[in-house]
Structures are given as C-alpha cells and as structure tokens.
Structure 1
C-alpha cells in the first residue's frame, strides 16, 4: 500500500503559518488533504480560518501536539484512517510554541504509524521582522529553525534587504542544510512543497553531498557539526554507536543525517535521527570509482565536537 505523505508546518508565534497553510491548499487544488491543526490552552484556532470549504480538519484539543503526542496524535491518525474520507497528503500544523521534532519522532519511531505514513518534510515559517529577537529569547524558536528542511522567510516586504540578509545568515548558522525561500506579501510559495521528500535516502544523499570535510556552525548553544572519514564501517558497530549517541544526548540532538560505507554492502547506508529515534535505509549504489566517504551531519544544542569525534574513533573506527 502506498504510504501517505506527511508535511509538518512549524514556526514561532505570529510567523504566518496560517497564511502559508491556506496558500498551500490553494496551490494544489487537486490534492486531497487531511489537516491536523492543534489548539493551545483554551483558545483554539477557528478551523474555517485555516482552510475554507474543507471538512477534513481535526483539531487536537489537549494542548500542542508535542505535549499530547503519547495518545492523541495516534488517536487522530487512527480516526483519519478509519473514516470514509479519502486523502493523499497529511498536513500537521504545530503551535508557535511547539517542538516539531516530537511530532516527527512519532512518524519515525512508531512502527504502526511508519508503516502507513511517510514524512515528506518539515517546513519552518520564519518571521524576518522578529526572528533575531525570537531566537535570543526562546529556545523553541531555535529548535523550529534547526529542525526544518525548508525555511520560508515571511514578511520580506515589510523589512529592508539588510534585515532579510541578517535573518538568513543567522538561520543558516543554525541549520546549514535547510533550503530557503523569501516570501513577499503573503504570496504562494514557489517551491513544490508536497514533493520535497526530505526524508528520502536520495534527498539525504543530495543535501549531505556538499559536506567536503569537518566543519562547524554555531549560534549560541545551538551547533551544527559535520564529519567525514574514509574506511569501511562495521554494521554492528554503527548500531552500537547510534545507541550510545542518542542515549547520552537525545535531549539535545535535533537532527542527525549520515551516509555510511558499510563493510560488505554495495549500496550507501543512510541513517536519519530525530530526537532519540533513528531510521536506517539503503540508499543508491556506490558508483564505479566513487570515493566511499562516510558523511555525518548533526544539529543540536550544547553537543561537543570532541565527544562525538571520540565516539567515532573509539567505536566506528576501532
């Protein structure tokens, strides 16, 4: 059975998620959407303000998704699948104070959900007017940017080009792998959002291919580290390394992407991590004459490069 694609929409308070969601549905008139929109506290968002003339809107009434993940999201997904309403793409809009990694982890770590749904991408809406202040004051704003695969910079018509430039620069420090697009006057985003396929093995290979060597980006406590090394990696040691990495640091690792040259395997092995969940899939075949370089990108808070390098040397390469 073909899996249903899932696009997560995140962004800090007032960034323009509702405008983006409305425009997204207008852009794809032939798509059959199901929308999960979550309330926070006692003041919910009127569904009619999210999508006009759509019936498939399911609101989570017990707070933001990340807080009610253990039960309610699964219940809503089950109700969606058991309903007589047909849909081919699921949109999940988180609140402005929600951590999107909690939602994504359910689609990776829960076998039942993962067998039916497939993550397409996390789209982060960034308010260029206020993003610099937001990331100074609230860690959630940083998490949302660091976790996104595609960043839409909203309200660009309301600020100077210098302000836009500074916002892009700061966000790229936190998330160098993210694709970006500037948005003016609340226009429809040009990028084909429904087919970003950021969690597919081919896209991970494509986005990580620019990693030419070890480098670092940082924004306060939020850092992005890249590592490359040659040699064959033992599959058992890789699983051990991932277990140690996520057990010790899962609270501060936002995203993990890796391409590995596994001993005895003719194809690239792709590893993706979200919080304390990781997923291993087989990628494309190593090309004839292609240098078999292992590549790792880790984005998180407070993680130490030396500690990760030590784990690579003592577990993966010993």
Structure 2
C-alpha cells in the first residue's frame, strides 16, 4: 500500500472553523464520468449522522442519479435538486448560483452536497461558489473520486479536466482498484501525488474508514487561501465536444435483450458512446445499467416509476437508440433489425 500524506492543498490547519450551525456548508464531490460519485454520496449518507441536500448536475438531457440517490440511503427522504442539460462550471453557471441561493433560502439545510457532471472543472466550480458566498454560505474542502483503471485514458483524452479535478481536491478517493496489482496502484498514486503534493489520497477502500473520517468531510473548511488557489488554477473552460441523448418511458422485452443492447453500445453500434446509464423494465423485472467506455454492468433496481436513460459521447445515433428503446409497436421491426445488427457486429469485426 502506498503511503500518502494527510494534508490538503488549502492550508487547512486540522481544526474545524467556529462557524455556527445556521450556515449552509457546501461539500463538492467531483470526479470524471463513471468514477463512482453517486455511490460515494450514498455511502456518505449511510455512514454519517449528517442530514444533507444533494444538488445533482447531469450533463445529459434527463436526470438518472437523482432517483437512485433518493432511494435506499441512511436518510429516509434525501432531498435531491437536479440540474440537467449543461455543466455548472460553465454553461449553467448562472442557474447553479441561483439554485444554491434558492436551496439556502427555502430548504435551509445545514449541508449541501454538490455532485457536478463528470465533465466539470472543479476549480471553476469552487470559484463560482466563492463568488456567491456570504455570511450564511461557506465552502468545505472538496473531494475528487478517481476511477483508477480509467486514469491513464482520461489523462490522455481530457488532460485539463483530469488534472484540474485532482489539483483542486483536498481528498482524492481511489475507486475500482480491485483488479490492479500493488505496483500499478503505486505508480498511479505517485502521478496523482505529483499533481496534488499535499492532498489526502485514499488508495484503499474508503468503506473501511471509521465514522470519524466520514464525518470529518463535513468539518474541514476551505480557507481564504484555498479560494485563491482555486481562482489561480482556473482556466478557460473549453467544453469537450460531447453530445448527449436522453430518453424516458423506455423498456426492453427481457434481461437478455438488455445484455445484447449494451454489447451493441460498447461495440460502437450506436456511435462512440463514452458514458451511459439508466433504469427500465426488462421482461418482469426492473434493471439499472451503467456503461463506462467499453465496460457495462447491470444490477437490479427497486425504484420503479418512469423509466429513463441518458447517453453521452460523439456521433450518437439517436434515432437508432430510439428504435430499440421506444415501446411503440411501430418501432418493433426496427428494434428487431437493430438487435440482429448488434448480434452480427462481433462476427463481422472478426473477419
């Protein structure tokens, strides 16, 4: 296991600030697409005694994680505020500021946890929040969730975003490390340490952390020096050239058909899809799916309600996705043809 230091880049003294409970304290949980931010927030709710509101920023046209967050946590009724179709670090900056003030003035929570889109620059987000801070809103030290197996790819494809999210974090949480050997883990930890010399880097499972560590995330405040650091590191935001397509009221006929569909998604049948997620009825069961790059997963889902999915990438074939996912009878023939194409794609690729 790599030895990583416990100090953040914001000259945090190790003591909690003497700020009263009538302040709304904002904790930003950053991380690239599919890193595990939503799962981390659910764990945060389950492992702490804090009650908080979540602001969920989805790059896609429809929100997916809001319902997932609100169900099955330690908080009976977690309040989730969703902002979709944009990024709060740039295109939705004004809506973001307005929403924070609205949450503060109406819901008046002690804590607000902000989950930005994976494409957002943490430095920009911290700057945007600092511009509306007043005597009742303060920033906590931010966290970045890092998808370790995807680190090299993300660093190559989106270097500015990857570096920004690591540099501006007080704590970097490694996820999905199970398949990595110790040498590879230490190599990546060393690269992260070079980007963020003083931040806390958690390379082992944070599930093993004591309750005091989890609660401590709500007790460490971003200092004035930290705000200046974030402003200095802020760069001109160039939004990656990514499209998104969102669908509601979708279904498939069986779990096997969902597997076949996702195989098509990761093999490029529906375009260069970088990230996808959703939940839908498939036969007699509700299922939730996640796609990150060329990997997908399927789990059970108990939420029910309106089914939905969002796809993010380049050259997305929206109409063909709709042919497969749309429940109308007029599209059943197109769905069957597309499924046959999905089945044939691996065979054709092998020629």
TM bin, normalised by shorter chain, reads: 0.5 to 0.7
Partner residue, 2:181: 160
Cα displacement string for residues 240-288 of structure 1 (whole angstroms, at most 9, x for unaligned residues): xxxxxxxxxxxxxxxx65xxxxxxxxxxxxx833225xxxxxxxxxxxx
Partner residue, 1:98: 120
1:121 is the counterpart of 2:145:
no
**Deviation of the 1:198 alpha carbon:** 4.6
Pick from 50, 54, 58 the counterpart of residue 39 of structure 1: 58
Cα displacement string for residues 63-117 of structure 1 (whole angstroms, at most 9, x for unaligned residues): 121124432112212321332x45211100011111112221123223xx33221
Pick from 96, 110, 129 the counterpart of residue 88 of structure 1: 110
Partner residue, 2:223: 200
Partner residue, 1:176: 197
Distance 2:85 2:34 in 1: 21
Partner residue, 1:17: 37
Change (3 A) 1:54 1:101: farther
**Superposition CA RMSD, Å:** 2.4
Change (3 A) 1:69 1:144: same
What stretches of structure 1 move > 4 A for 4+ residues in a row?
none
Change (3 A) 1:13 1:104: same
Distance 1:300 1:177 in 2: 19
Distance 1:183 1:21 in 2: 17
**How many positions carry a matched residue from both structures?**
207
Distance 2:231 2:181 in 1: 36
- The gaps in structure 2 that reach 5 residues or longer are 1-19, 236-351
Change (3 A) 1:300 1:33: closer
Q: Is the 8 A contact 2:25 2:139 kept in 1?
A: yes
Change (3 A) 1:55 1:196: closer
Distance 1:188 1:119 in 2: 26
Q: Is the 8 A contact 2:62 2:84 kept in 1?
A: no
Cα displacement string for residues 153-194 of structure 1 (whole angstroms, at most 9, x for unaligned residues): 11122211112101110001111021111243x726543343
Change (3 A) 1:300 1:103: closer
SS in 2 for 1:156: coil
Partner residue, 2:230: 274
Q: Is the 8 A contact 1:122 1:149 kept in 2?
A: yes
More strand, by proportion: 1
Q: Is the 8 A contact 2:27 2:218 kept in 1?
A: no
**Deviation of the 1:300 alpha carbon:** 7.8
- The gaps in structure 1 that reach 5 residues or longer are 202-255, 258-270, 277-298, 302-318
Partner residue, 2:346: none
**Deviation of the 1:127 alpha carbon:** 1.3
Which range moved further: 65-74 or 94-103? 65-74
Looking at CA atoms only, which structure, 1 or 2, has the larger radius of gyration?
A: 2
Pick from 158, 163, 185 the counterpart of residue 142 of structure 1: 163
Q: Is the 8 A contact 2:28 2:113 kept in 1?
A: yes
Partner residue, 1:107: 129
Cα displacement string for residues 35-54 of structure 1 (whole angstroms, at most 9, x for unaligned residues): 10011131422412123243
Distance 1:142 1:57 in 2: 28
Q: Is the 8 A contact 1:129 1:163 kept in 2?
A: no
SS in 2 for 1:24: helix
**Deviation of the 1:151 alpha carbon:** 0.5
